[in-house]
Amino acid sequence: MQILRRTLLLLIAAVLAYSCADENESPRYTGEIQFSFNPNATIKPGGRTAVDFPDGSYLIVTIQSASGTPVLTRERVDLVRVGDEYIGEPLALPEGNFRLTDFWVVSPTRVLLYAAPKEGAPLAGLVDDPLPQTFSISKDQLSNVGVQVIDVTDSSPQDFGYVSFELDVIRKFQISVFTTGEGGLTLSSATATLLNGIDTLQLEALEAKVNTFVFTENPDDSVTLAVTKPGYTRYARKFTFNQLKEELNGDPLTVVLSPAVTFVALHDVTNALDFSIRVTGPSGQITIDWGDGTSGIYDLDTDDAQEHDYAHSGKYFVSITGDLTNVTDFYSFYGGGPMVDHIDVSQLTEMVDIRIGLTVSPLSIDLTKNKKLTGLMLIGNNMGEILIAPDNILQFISIDGPNNFTTASLDAFVNTLYQSVVETGRTEGYISLYAIWYETENNNMVGPPSEEALTKLRSLRDDYGWAISPNP
């Protein structure tokens, strides 16, 4: 565990250095900046005395790069009193030149007390160095910038050069996502969802870097953060923003996702059926995280379905882990297991048969990692693309409609299948392509296939003894 933690810390440090660098620049080492001011030396046109300056006050600062790129926006900085002077907690920044563009002093009750005026503002002449103030960061060095502030009493934001004194502090934390695989830990993209029960509060796309998550909810409310990525386990944890901020202490939240079979379950409580799939094999167990905060452990060596009763209608990210290399069959039929958005079965490398039919399905399925498949039945669903490996060994195929195949997507499937049959010489296979699965009296095909694909289907029939329905 210590080794994993040390590895994550090293990776995060490297990513932080890279993320803070300007585009097209190399990663840079970091230093620190702290801001200070003396309330006894502040200019008080409104008459406030220094004794009114309350303990527990804090700064709100905005920092840009020398080129004007935002680096920290309305960042809250705690204050420490040293004699008559107040000093902000140090902020880590990469090497380089920066500009301080906003500087406010706020009371614990969120009352604005002081502000630094901006250049050209009516009150700018009262200070020696109005904003923006420039400063530099050097490797492993702590820099200090002294700021002169003015009492805001009886003054308008425009007097300081601001449009408004909006005190909604931007609450945020950093988050990075890693996936595990044969090559170890890899920084990855993912989707982050902030939930209150089943209600989605925020939905954010995370990139393969250290991301900044802007938290817009009440900092004392308990919420759930879910991080999902197709093909990997679902991460979920409950917290309040204030608890999380204290726990992280400025470090990024690190999420590690492990490989899994995943899909998005679609449930309608008005449907009398429980959500039902059947994942089987000769031995072993699987764990299914149903995406609603519940999970179950199931034996593979049974004909019983894995069923779940969702309490509410909606979409649920389902992940399956366990003895995945023991799984030989995957089944979802007759409307019991509707799935949308995606399905990822790449971890089922020993699967020999997959059947999804007469139900809602994703538009596409990637079976290029399932090279031991011999049986494929995807009928009467939403499929419009099936990707198979060039070295597939498929023998029995039914992809009857109605579905969403186009001529191009069907031709691609037929071409890959045909090339693999030619290379292996396997005979007496079967492929069914009826436009409507139950209308077997006519010759309408899904797609329909182009004349080139029809030629290959005829070759499968005439040269390799395959049965093709309807007969081309």
53 & 200 share domain? no
Structural domain contains residue 398:
yes
Structural domain contains residue 413:
yes
**Domain count across the chain:** 3
Structural domain contains residue 9:
no
Asked which of 160, 191, 226 is the last residue of a domain, the reply is 160
401 & 297 share domain? yes
324 & 301 share domain? yes
Structural domain contains residue 294:
yes
143 & 192 share domain? no
247 & 274 share domain? no
How many residues make up the chain in this entry? 472
156-176 burial, b for 16+ CB within 10 Å, e for fewer? eeebbbbeeeeeeeebbbbbb
pLDDT at position 181 is 85
Radius of gyration, CA atoms only, the chain: 31
281 & 242 share domain? no
User: In whole angstroms, what is the distance from residue 168 CA to residue 89 CA?
Assistant: 20
Residue 105 token pair: 């002093």
Structural domain contains residue 65:
yes
Residue 217 token pair: 């909810």
> How is 314-341 classified by DSSP, letter by letter?
EEEEEEEEESGGG--EEEEETTSS-EEE
Structural domain contains residue 4:
no
pLDDT at position 168 is 59
pLDDT at position 272 is 72
271 & 252 share domain? no
154 & 182 share domain? no
Cα–Cα–Cα angle for 424, 429, 431, rounded to 5 degrees: 120
pLDDT at position 18 is 47
pLDDT at position 52 is 56
324 & 344 share domain? yes
Q: Residue 245: which domain range?
A: 173-257
Residues 95 and 131: beta-carbon distance below 8 Å: no
Indicate the pTM of the whole model: 0.72
Structural domain contains residue 7:
no
pLDDT at position 304 is 93
190 & 302 share domain? no
Helices 407-424 and 451-464 cross at an angle (nearest 10°) of 30
User: In whole angstroms, what is the distance from residue 43 CA to residue 35 CA?
Assistant: 18
Regions of the chain short of the pLDDT cut 50: 1-3, 9-10, 13, 17-27, 47-51
CATH code for position 218: 2.60.40
Alpha-carbon torsion (464, 467, 469, 472), positive or negative: positive
201 & 286 share domain? no
